[in-house]
Amino acid sequence: MQPDTLQDIYRQAAALAQLLSFAEVCSLLRKSRSGVYKLMASDPTFPRSIKDGEARSARAFFVASEIAAWQQAKLATRDAA
């Protein structure tokens, strides 16, 4: 088995899902932490977070493409109205 070249590793990394921290999602949506929590509780279409561990205090991340798709869907429903 041939070892991966640096270019192969870069290609594999680019194919991985980009993760956003909770703070980055807050900044992106221009909402406070409590505002994002309210959005998570009230909007069933909002993307679910990924926990970085089993602990209750583990960091939460969101998949960037899912946040972008959610925003696009919200814009589409606004434009259709």
Cα–Cα distance list, 41 to 11, 26, 52, 76 (Å): 36, 15, 20, 22
Q: Is the sign of the CA dihedral 17, 58, 46, 30 positive or negative? A: negative
pLDDT the model gives residue 60: 93
Could you give all domains of the chain from N- to C-terminal order, each with its CATH number?
A: 18-80 (1.10.1660)
DSSP state string for 32-71 = -HHHHHHHHHH-TTSPPPEESSSSTT--EEEEHHHHHHHH
pLDDT digits (tens, 9 = 90+) for 21-69: 999 999 999 999 999 999 999 999 999 999 999 999 999 999 999 999 9
Question: Do 49 and 61 touch, CB atoms closer than 8 A?
Answer: yes
Q: pTM value?
A: 0.77
